[in-house]
Amino acid sequence: MPTLSTDIPVPIPVRHGPRILTIGAGSQGHAYAEPITRLHLGQVVAVCEPGPFKRAEFGRKYIWGLSNRSALPHEEFEDWKDFIKYEFSRRERVKTGEIKEGDPEFKGVDTVFITVLDEMHVHVVKALAPLGLHTMCEKPLATGLDDCIDILGTVTREWEILGRKTVFGIAHVLRYSPHNVMLRKLVREDRVVGDVISVEHTEPIGWWHMAHSFVRGNWRRQDMAAPSLLTKSCHDIDFLMWLLCSSASANSADPPHVPSFISSTGNLNQFRKARKPLAAGSATNCISCPIERSCLYSAKSIYVDKLFADPDNLEWPLKSVAPEIEDLYFNDGKPAAEKRLLEALAEDYTTETPDSQIKKRSWYGRCVWDGDNDVCDDQVVTITWGDDPLPRAKVGKGDNGALTGDAAALNGRSAKTAIFHMIAPTEKICARRGKIYGTTGEISYDSDNISVHSFATSETVVHPTKVAGKGHGGGDESMVENFCKAVQAAISGEMEASAAQRLWLGCEIEEIVRSHVAVFAAEKARKERIVVDWQKFWASEVEARLQKRTI
């Protein structure tokens, strides 16, 4: 791709592919726009972002480039509500002939990536639904079960009004990493370990990553975001549901093998005031703390001494601390960027600061032992399935009168258990690992390899995996590519949106919601110290809510 002297890619018009609006120019907005632009999967043509610096930076990188021209009105919006007003007006102006073919505004957008804060997803998705845009929403779908059901009802209702479906995806990117695609094929299609008996899956969050995102950052409080099982690990619950609950093939007519019971335990064990070192005294900010130099979680040590030493970290996580740091680094030099970073870390609140002000933003220099965080840093979820074989047509009787043929088998729908562990103090950052125990073998997997051991041969076969792109083992890039291909197939008329979605995304909106329901069931189990019956929970919390919305 041709680049300018500042190494910012020049956006190249794409003849085919979706025309994309990105709502939210934060780290995930960039994570998806970058491969779209680099791989020419579509064309990012507009951005909604309230922050002027972030909006301009995003536009220069992916929309209008570093030319001397300013952004056109239809290319940038301060608020997503402004875009919706504009788009309804634009469509009317096209109808009346005020905007003609060939005008810059004629084509508009057909696709949207929603990468705003989690709690805003429900409002943005519902407001956009009448426009009939193909939609990719950052995970989680919403921060509450009621909102997830509301989205399902709203989107499906608008499809009926529009007379057509659109492609609707969620950024459960673990489904799309080459590593996990291979793993699922080995387990579900090739059945290399026979029937699955049990799965142990771990997400090691990473010692400083937990502090960054869930102690000091946006996702530290349940009342301003959601439980960490949802904001951090809905990826992993979805991965387990995809691996063990969904049909082996997206085109299969078989119903999902839904769980029987879900239980969970978890707490905020590490990052709490009871663990604050006595020597820290009354200090609440690392920059002014007397033990800053010796503290493992010193913000200065993590962000300045450790992360700032590598320019690759400017995009994330340092841009979360100071959004303009990359621009300062390359235009004004490293000292200017470091100065701004230290200024941001020194910001703090006091006992006099209203809570409403505290929770509006992140506090990356705040003492990890003296913050307002309340989400779990250690949680275990257990999901159990019972036997649920489907009836088959081929039925016979053996010499002893027993059923034979397909009807005698469990057809991959046997009883099994999945145990998920989300844990904060780890060396690895988000490098998932696990074990799959089957009737004929055992699988060990991590971020680099999948090892399959056969009980019959006593041999172990290692399957190395390839990674495309940086995020989530290549999952970010693969998800974007699959989504854009699904949208292109739909807008070109090659296939209906639902068929394109099944082919490229492998799931419908109902499956997206089902994975979220599993998270909320686990949270109910944890908070109430109970075992949740899936069928009863689904009937009361999902079906009843959907029925209420149709009355």
Give one DSSP letter per residue of 400-450, joined into a string: TS-EESGGGS-TT---EEEEEEEESS-SSSS--EEEEEESSEEEEE-SSEE
Give the three-class secondary structure for 203.
Answer: strand
Domains identified in the chain, total number = 3
Looking at the structure, tell me whether residues 482 and 535 fall in a common domain.
no
Sorted by sequence, the CB contacts under 8 Å of residue 509 that are 6+ apart come out as 152, 155, 156, 168
d(CA 267, CA 280): 24
Q: Is residue 549 a part of any domain in this protein?
A: no
Tokens of residue 43, six digits = 């064309």
d(CA 53, CA 43): 21
Query: Which CATH number covers residue 380?
Result: 3.30.360.10
Looking at the structure, tell me whether residues 522 and 424 fall in a common domain.
yes
Looking at the structure, tell me whether residues 433 and 305 fall in a common domain.
no
Looking at the structure, tell me whether residues 89 and 128 fall in a common domain.
yes
Looking at the structure, tell me whether residues 53 and 122 fall in a common domain.
yes
| Residue 54, domain extent | 19-174+477-511
- Where does a domain end: 328, 358, 388? 358
Q: Is residue 277 a part of any domain in this protein?
A: yes
Looking at the structure, tell me whether residues 260 and 280 fall in a common domain.
no
d(CA 496, CA 490): 6
Looking at the structure, tell me whether residues 238 and 277 fall in a common domain.
no
Residue 407's pLDDT is: 44
Residue 395's pLDDT is: 47
* Chunked mean pLDDT (size 10), the chain, 551 residues: 39 75 96 95 97 94 83 96 98 97 95 97 98 98 97 97 97 95 96 97 98 97 95 97 92 91 98 97 97 97 94 89 93 96 97 95 97 98 95 54 53 93 97 97 95 98 76 82 97 95 95 98 98 98 87 61
Q: Could you tell me if 440 and 455 are in contact, meaning their C-beta atoms sit under 8 angstroms apart?
A: yes
- Where does a domain end: 358, 390, 422? 358
- Where does a domain end: 315, 331, 358? 358
Looking at the structure, tell me whether residues 242 and 225 fall in a common domain.
yes
Looking at the structure, tell me whether residues 380 and 528 fall in a common domain.
yes
Query: Which CATH number covers residue 503?
Result: 3.40.50.720
Q: Is residue 550 a part of any domain in this protein?
A: no
Q: Is residue 457 a part of any domain in this protein?
A: yes
Looking at the structure, tell me whether residues 292 and 433 fall in a common domain.
no
Give the three-class secondary structure for 112.
Answer: strand
- Give Cα separations from 49 to 22, 25, 53, 264 (angstroms): 9, 6, 9, 37
Count of residues in the chain? 551
Looking at the structure, tell me whether residues 387 and 529 fall in a common domain.
yes
Looking at the structure, tell me whether residues 96 and 217 fall in a common domain.
no
Q: Is residue 43 a part of any domain in this protein?
A: yes
Q: Could you tell me if 162 and 134 are in contact, meaning their C-beta atoms sit under 8 angstroms apart?
A: no
Q: Is residue 4 a part of any domain in this protein?
A: no
Q: Is residue 547 a part of any domain in this protein?
A: no
Q: Is residue 126 a part of any domain in this protein?
A: yes
